[in-house]
Amino acid sequence: MNDLGITVKKDEDFAEWYIQVVLKSNLLDYAPMKGFIVLKPYGYAIWEGIRGVADKRFKETGHHNAFLPTLIPESLLSKEAEHFEGFKPEVFWVTHAGNDELGERLALRPTSETLAYEIFSRWIRSYRDLPLKINFWNTALRAEIKSTKPLIRTSEFLWQEGHTVHASKEEAEQEAMLMLSIYREIMEEYLAIPVIAGYKSEREKFVGADYTLTLEALMPDGKALQMGTSHNLGQNFSKPFSIKFLDKDGKEQYAWQTSWGISWRLIGAMVMVHGDDKGLVLPPRIAPIQIVIVPIFYGDETKDSVIEKCKNLYAMLRDRFRVHLDDREEYTPGYKFNDWELKGIPLRVEIGPRDVKQGKVVLARRDDGKKVSVGDEELLDAVTNMLEDIQRSLYTRASEFLKSHTFSAFSYDEFKERVEHGFVRAYWCGSQECELRIKEETGADIRVIPFNVNDTDMGGEGMEEQGIDRDGDMICIYCSRNAEKIAYFARAY
């Protein structure tokens, strides 16, 4: 089992542990091209789970799915100048079709704003056509120059990109915030990962946006991971792309827009946050298999009764849970235990000859390894409660880690020491110069300017927007000028 199982400890070599887990649990494999990966069926099933939850929420809130081509003509991609400058270094370019050189280069979409908005401009004439709320489940392609990491940073990734058009600034602001709240709900309630919500700094915002809202999580190695973003694009694209509408008074107006996205990076985050030395640990609400039933028998005389009971329980559980019966004959129970632990199945039901005789089963939790024996008649309730408890425990544990690894710093020395271990809250003067210097000197950048920081040991008058009461020394952690914001700094993936 040694070469099949994880051979390093999570807290000894986190990077190597991560790679072993994603490969050995059969989530994914490397593609023959550097920087690209393949999602294997188990990894894709997790993606289908996340997509299912998100898609339902998108539709409930009035969004519709659609399809856009993969290719974008260079002239279109470059129509919004800042946006193009931002993505240019990582664009894959198609120059030939068959043996023919193309008249104009075609970009593989790094993101679809430009193509979508060129088309939206034809669909919108009047306020009656608004809001337009479209989502695309597709991939984005960005040639990664930095070192890549499966699911976290790859040259092609599965994601969704939502694009909306509104008649007013306020409506676009509300939409950007609504989608952030839906993302947060998915992350916290399904993936069991707590996040910090707020704004990106000007330097870190999406190229072309008025502002970017972000959700940031903390990984066990103290590095931050951007989990999802929602951009208020203002009229920055509607002007170059001529997205105009006649309002109720018959006056022509430029529209207001948002875009927002989450990707398979969320799978990577779950692996990092919840996994342990035995492999994956999946939250029950998102696990493709929530319960695995493993029959245990030693001779042929007990086999039939054990298998029969397993099949009965499987039939009983399958209507309410995603359950799998592992009746493979060529593997031992011990092998199966390891295999399903590696794959992170939340709950294991073990059934042996004694359990058949006594009318009991053994339930083994993946998160804490505890085993309990319950009577057959209690099984449904026990399983229901235990899955809920695992979901809650994973979230609680991750929240405690986030809390214990989020620090305040009031001096640059404090800052430098603490940023080795997690998020550091600090006063910031608001200048991009300080932000850049800090990044150069410590490797940490501003991950998020949180909506609300009142529940911390910091405060500051004039930062009302963040809910801060001013007291103490409100000076920038780097330049000592008057502070304007409290920002969360961290090194990041």
- Would you call 98 helix, strand, or coil by DSSP? coil
Question: Which residue, 55 or 389, is less far from a copy of itself as judged by CB?
Answer: 55
Q: Which of 118, 22, 142 is nearest to 69 (CA)?
A: 118
x/- map, 275-314, a copy of itself, by CB under 8 A: ----------------------------------------
Q: Strand 423-428 and strand 406-408: pairing?
A: parallel
Q: Which long-range contacts (CB under 8 A, 24 or more apart) does 145-151 make?
A: 145/89, 145/90, 148/34, 148/35, 149/18, 149/268, 149/493, 150/19, 150/22, 150/23, 150/28, 150/30, 150/37, 150/268, 151/22, 151/27, 151/28, 151/37, 151/264, 151/265, 151/267, 151/268, 151/271
Distance of CA 63 to the CA centre of its chain: 20
Question: Which residue, 155 or 442, is less far from a copy of itself as judged by CB?
Answer: 155
x/- map, 47-86, a copy of itself, by CB under 8 A: xx---------------xxxxxxxx-x--x----------
Is there binding between residue 271 and a copy of itself (CB under 8 A)? no
Contact yes or no for 471/486 (Cβ under 8 A): no
Is there binding between residue 248 and a copy of itself (CB under 8 A)? no
Q: Using the rule CB under 8 A, which residue among 5, 16, 36, 480 binds a copy of itself?
A: 36
Least Å distance, CB 41 to a copy of itself, is: 3
Least Å distance, CB 154 to a copy of itself, is: 9
Least Å distance, CB 106 to a copy of itself, is: 7
Least Å distance, CB 176 to a copy of itself, is: 21
x/- map, 157-196, a copy of itself, by CB under 8 A: -x--------------------------------------
Is there binding between residue 23 and a copy of itself (CB under 8 A)? no
Is there binding between residue 488 and a copy of itself (CB under 8 A)? no
Is there binding between residue 108 and a copy of itself (CB under 8 A)? yes
Query: Which tokens hold the place of 275?
Result: 């996994």
Q: Using the rule CB under 8 A, which residue among 32, 60, 251, 440 binds a copy of itself?
A: 32
- Would you call 215 helix, strand, or coil by DSSP? strand
Q: Which of 181, 186, 162, 196 is nearest to 46 (CA)?
A: 186
Least Å distance, CB 392 to a copy of itself, is: 30
Site for a copy of itself in 112-151 (CB under 8 A): 115, 118-119, 122-123, 128, 134, 139, 141, 143, 145
Least Å distance, CB 378 to a copy of itself, is: 32
Distance CA(208)–CA(269), nearest Å, equals: 27
Least Å distance, CB 36 to a copy of itself, is: 4
Least Å distance, CB 98 to a copy of itself, is: 4
Give me the phi and psi of 206, to 5 degrees please.
-60, 135
Is there binding between residue 90 and a copy of itself (CB under 8 A)? yes
What is the DSSP secondary-structure string of 426-452? EEE---HHHHHHHHHHHS-EEEEEES-
Least Å distance, CB 385 to a copy of itself, is: 29
Question: Which residue, 142 or 309, is less far from a copy of itself as judged by CB?
Answer: 142
For residue 282, count other CB atoms closer than 10 A to its CB: 28
x/- map, 329-348, a copy of itself, by CB under 8 A: -x------------------
Contact yes or no for 361/307 (Cβ under 8 A): no
End-to-end CA distance of the chain: 32
Distance CA(460)–CA(451), nearest Å, equals: 14
Strand (E) positions, 296-342?
323-325
Question: What is the binding site for a copy of itself (CB under 8 A)?
Answer: 29, 31-33, 36-41, 43-45, 47-48, 64-71, 73, 76, 88-99, 106, 108, 115, 118-119, 122-123, 128, 134, 139, 141, 143, 145, 156, 158, 330
